[in-house]
């Protein structure tokens, strides 16, 4: 049986800073626990301290939370948690004001020399540029706005027993957060339940090895780390600046005054020219003053300009000022003040061109730096889609089943499909007590598409399935295996079943039999496998994502050993 899904393109994410809100330490509503002990618990990864607090259940009870239903999520409860434990945001260095950019520009030695020359030549008559926004200042403000939007990542939280998407900024202490492969841990917390959960803590520790998170030895999750395998549920214990990531953020300054290669070369050039110009100007000043006071220079009538005491003080002052002005003119002419201006205008023009191509440039110098790049590596495509997938085709064995023909599937196969879809998944289905309301599906786009198809078209009751079966073992999905498996036990008759789900070409290799529409088990010989491969290749060529399901009932001799879910698995049907 094969399911194909429309495959949307992925949308890239951008990481940015946020603004934090001050935290109030103690709160009467949470008298059994305080923020400092929660933060220290996860930071030290102390199993003994967790046991002293009553384990995960004890921590959840102290936080007025529930490991299954989460927090109530009403405004009053969220407000209390914000007041007691803070919000899940991080402080950043204050944004530079306009005059900081002006001051940094005036640190250029060329600008300083030119300002001095202007002061000597024209006094205070030259006005400044005014309060018009500079390019870097405007770009910094636009980049901050973009940062706030891109950092607002949606996460899945359980509130009142219902999975719902909330902003990462709305997470409060006591929330139960759902984690899956690719997610970033949004806050510090403790694992409530999970399977094969591994995280990448390289951003915190520098170690590239993945860390296994489990309920017995290491249930602690640190904000800023990334889930690389498995899935789980975590109880939030610290948010915002109280987390390990928040402490690190407060100690790191994001501002760097490093200059680009072009700026360094221009500064070296203008400094050298400035030194030569000052030396020549000084020599000219000395020579002109010596000539004037020795009586060498003459006026237009041929008389000496300086005759000792006979020359009035006003004439001496005017002559000296003229000589100084001539020397200053040499400095002004020698320094290429137009070069920095021309470079700035060129970079500003490049920045405008890049903005037209939807490329945001925070600093003008980046245009020059990127101009030296020969190869740029990006991730997949940037095409925007609705990010919503749907089931478009369904194969049972080798037979294509149309949407209107689902009622022709045998009850036995339909029951196995309900088990494979409802229990071998990281998503969930929620339907309120109001019978008029529609279903709500959570999980990855692929999971939501399959759950929606099973619930609406195959009449799957996920809650009933979970009541009838106990999960014994889970093999989580990852990009290497391209499949996930679950071992379940029927509470009614005690039988054990194994279900697999994953890439169709991977699942088909595991199969020895398949079911037809009437529920008959048929052997999957070589010709049948080749036909299945052609079906899979045809759908893949149509840009469809092919997902297959497989099942096997475990015999009594194998029930004591759950390892057969890995190696000796021989399903009876494929979808």
Residue range 519-560, pLDDT digits in tens? 888 888 888 888 888 888 888 888 888 888 988 888 765 555
Q: Which neighbouring-strand residues pair with 194?
A: 232
92-129 burial, b at 16+ Cβ within 10 Å, e below that, comes to beeeeebeebeeeeeebebeebbeebeeeeeeeeeeee
Tokens found for residue 189 = 């917390």
Is 330:284 a contact under the CB 8 Å cutoff? yes
Is 33:94 a contact under the CB 8 Å cutoff? no
pLDDT, mean of residues 238-246: 86
At 236 the pLDDT is 92
Confidence of residue 564 (pLDDT cuts 50, 70, 90): very low
Confidence of residue 189 (pLDDT cuts 50, 70, 90): very high
Which is higher by pLDDT, 145 or 156?
156
Residue 497, pLDDT > 60, answer: yes
Cα separation, 410 vs 418, in Å, equals 12
User: For the segment 63-75, what is each residue's pLDDT rounded down to a tens digit?
Assistant: 888 888 888 888 8
How many C-beta atoms lie closer than 10 Å to residue 282's C-beta?
Answer: 13
Catalytic (active site) residue 255 = no
Scanning the structure block, which residue is given the tokens 């149509």?
542
Confidence of residue 190 (pLDDT cuts 50, 70, 90): very high
Tokens found for residue 148 = 């706030």
Residue 438, pLDDT > 90, answer: no
Poorest-pLDDT segment among 8-17, 82-91, 290-299, 308-317: 8-17
Residue 54, pLDDT > 90, answer: no
Residue 235, pLDDT > 90, answer: yes
**How many Å is the Cα radius of gyration of the chain?**
36
Tokens found for residue 402 = 């149309």
Q: Which of 255, 379, 434, 525 is catalytic?
A: 379
User: For the segment 383-435, what is each residue's pLDDT rounded down to a tens digit?
Assistant: 556 667 888 888 887 788 876 667 778 888 888 889 989 898 888 888 766 65
Cα separation, 44 vs 54, in Å, equals 17
At 122 the pLDDT is 54
Tokens found for residue 460 = 């799957």
pLDDT, mean of residues 152-175: 87
* The model scores a pTM over 0.75: no
Is 361:351 a contact under the CB 8 Å cutoff? yes
231-268 burial, b at 16+ Cβ within 10 Å, e below that, comes to bbbbbbbbbbbbbbbbeebeeeeeeeeeebebbeebee
Poorest-pLDDT segment among 12-26, 194-208, 381-395, 559-573: 12-26
User: For the segment 452-488, what is each residue's pLDDT rounded down to a tens digit?
Assistant: 888 888 888 888 888 899 988 888 887 778 888 899 9
Residue 58, pLDDT > 80, answer: yes
At 188 the pLDDT is 92
At 252 the pLDDT is 60
Task: Look at phi and psi of residue 45 and say left if phi exceeds 0, alpha if psi is from -120 to 50, else beta.
Answer: left
Give the residue ranges of DSSP H helices in 133-214: 135-150, 202-205
């Amino acid at each position: 049986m094969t399911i194909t899904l429309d495959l949307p393109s992925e949308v890239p994410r951008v990481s940015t800073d946020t603004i934090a809100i001050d935290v109030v330490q103690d709160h009467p509503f949470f008298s059994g626990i305080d923020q400092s002990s929660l933060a220290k618990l996860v930071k030290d990864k102390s199993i003994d301290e967790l046991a002293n607090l009553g384990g995960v259940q004890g921590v959840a009870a102290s936080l007025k939370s529930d490991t299954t239903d989460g927090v109530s999520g009403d405004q009053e409860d969220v407000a209390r948690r914000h007041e007691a434990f803070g919000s899940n945001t991080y402080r950043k260095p204050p944004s530079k004001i306009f005059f900081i950019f002006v001051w940094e520009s005036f640190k250029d030695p060329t600008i300083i020399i030119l300002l001095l020359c202007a002061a000597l030549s024209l006094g205070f008559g030259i006005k400044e540029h005014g309060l018009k926004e500079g390019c870097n200042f405007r770009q910094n403000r636009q980049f901050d706005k973009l940062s706030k939007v891109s950092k607002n990542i949606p996460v899945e939280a359980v509130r009142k027993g219902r999975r719902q998407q909330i902003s990462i900024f709305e997470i409060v202490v006591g929330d139960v957060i759902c984690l899956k492969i690719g997610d970033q841990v949004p806050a510090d917390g403790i694992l409530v339940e999970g399977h094969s959960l591994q995280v990448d803590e390289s951003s915190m520790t520098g170690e590239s090895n993945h860390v296994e998170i489990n309920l017995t030895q290491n249930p602690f999750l640190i904000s800023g780390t990334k889930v690389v395998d498995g899935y789980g549920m975590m109880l939030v214990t610290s948010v915002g600046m109280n987390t390990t990531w928040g402490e690190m953020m407060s100690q790191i300054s994001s501002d760097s005054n490093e200059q680009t290669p072009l700026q360094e070369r221009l500064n070296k050039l203008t400094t050298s020219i400035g030194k030569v110009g000052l030396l020549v100007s000084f020599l000219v000043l000395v020579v002109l003053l010596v000539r004037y006071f020795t009586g060498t220079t003459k006026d237009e009538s041929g008389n000496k300009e300086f005759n000792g005491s006979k020359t009035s003080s006003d004439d001496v002052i005017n002559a000296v000022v003229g000589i100084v002005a001539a020397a200053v003119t040499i400095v002004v002419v020698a320094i290429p003040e137009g070069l920095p201006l021309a470079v700035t205008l060129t970079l500003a023009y490049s920045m405008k061109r890049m903005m037209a191509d939807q490329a945001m440039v925070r600093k003008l110098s980046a245009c020059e730096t990127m101009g030296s790049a020969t190869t740029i590596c990006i991730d997949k495509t940037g095409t925007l889609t609705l990010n919503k997938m749907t089931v478009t085709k369904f194969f049972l064995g080798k037979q294509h089943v149309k949407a209107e023909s689902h009622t022709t599937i045998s009850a036995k196969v339909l029951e196995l499909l309900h088990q494979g879809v409802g229990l071998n998944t990281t998503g969930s289905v929620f339907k309120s007590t109001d019978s008029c309301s529609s279903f709500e599906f959570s999980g990855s786009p692929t999971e939501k598409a399959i759950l929606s198809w099973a619930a609406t078209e195959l009449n799957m009751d996920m809650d009933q399935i979970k009541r009838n079966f106990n999960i014994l073992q889970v093999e989580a999905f990852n990009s290497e295996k391209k499949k996930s498996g679950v071992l379940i036990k029927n509470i009614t008759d005690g039988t054990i079943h194994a279900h697999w789900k994953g890439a169709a070409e991977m699942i088909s290799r595991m199969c020895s039999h398949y079911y037809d529409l009437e529920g008959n088990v048929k052997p999957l010989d070589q010709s049948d496998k080749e036909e299945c491969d052609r079906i899979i290749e045809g759908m893949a060529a149509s840009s469809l994502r092919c997902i297959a399901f497989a099942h096997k009932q475990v015999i009594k001799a194998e029930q004591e050993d759950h390892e057969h879910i890995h190696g000796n698995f021989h399903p009876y049907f494929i979808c």
